[in-house]
Amino acid sequence: LFTSVEHAGSSTDGQWLATVEWRDNGATAAEQRIKFWQYSPQNFSFKLISCVEQPHSSRITSLSFQPQPQSNRSPSGQDAMDVSGENSEDSRLTAPLCLSTSVDGKFKLWSLASVRTTQAVHYVWRCWSSGEFRRQPASCSAFSSDGSLMA
């Protein structure tokens, strides 16, 4: 049984990759997931950070990352991420965002957050917000070039 990657998107800095996987054998319930990967310059490969099972109630139609503003970059060119996990406006302005849309008419914004345990801090992607427009299927997604608007 094969799993197909139906959509993929990357952040403008190349640090993040998101993939949408779909599998349906016709005998059991269809499976869909979004996987978020972080680039590792030491290994020249991507490492799986989060896997979200059944992220929408219907098939996903698009996936796109919000462009990171130049003001969020450090002098080395790396993004200066604040992923404190707090629900503050400041952390949402600097943490990367990913937008997914679905046949169910919903769009979802996914945000990077940190989770503190007794041993370490781990990063996860979680649904930060969702919405819909007139109960119409959402077939594509995009951000403005400065990342301030989504469509």
- Tens-level pLDDT at each residue, the chain (151 residues): 688 999 999 999 999 999 999 998 888 888 999 999 999 999 999 999 999 999 999 999 999 999 986 554 433 334 444 444 444 444 444 688 999 999 989 999 999 998 898 898 888 999 999 999 888 888 888 888 888 888 8
Single-letter amino acid, residue 41: P
pTM for the whole structure: 0.80
Contact of 35 with 47, CB cutoff 8 Å: no
Cβ–Cβ under 8 Å, residues 138 and 57: no
The strand pairing partners of 22, in sequence order, are 4, 32
Give pLDDT, residue 36: 97
CB 36 within 8 A of CB 98: yes
Query: Could you give the 3-state DSSP secondary structure of residue 71?
Result: helix
Contact 60, 106 (CB under 8 A): no
Q: Which two tokens stand for residue 123?
A: 């990063």
C-alpha to C-alpha distance for 34 and 91, rounded to whole angstroms:
22
